[in-house]
Amino acid sequence: MHTEKISVRVTETRQTVEVVVFDKRAERIQVVIGEGIHCVKCDLTPTRNGLAYAGTVVGREIVYERSREQVQADIDRVNPAVRKSGRR
């Protein structure tokens, strides 16, 4: 199994942190910050203009600086069968 990691920016300190992706969809990205018993899940949702994803963890705002279209393209590239599934 491949563990996907993305870089997010903590807006308060402008520090870049690498986090593990738990679930990735165009409408929501769920990430895990930390390891072991000290891990915390966070939901990143698209911003109003759709140019980034934002969420809060332990009172701090984090931002994933990729647009909704870029994330959907990443999902389609990794698993093209997901996009083509549907009713027959």
Per-residue pLDDT at 79:
75
Query: How far apart, in whole angstroms, are the C-alpha atoms of residue 88 and residue 45?
Result: 31
Contact 21, 6 (CB under 8 A): yes
Amino acid residing at 15: Q
pLDDT band at 73 (very low <50, low <70, confident <90, very high): very high
Query: How far apart, in whole angstroms, are the C-alpha atoms of residue 74 and residue 54?
Result: 18
pLDDT band at 84 (very low <50, low <70, confident <90, very high): low
Per-residue pLDDT at 60:
93
- Strands 53-57 and 28-33, how do they pair? unpaired
Domain spans, the chain: 5-84
Contact 64, 29 (CB under 8 A): yes
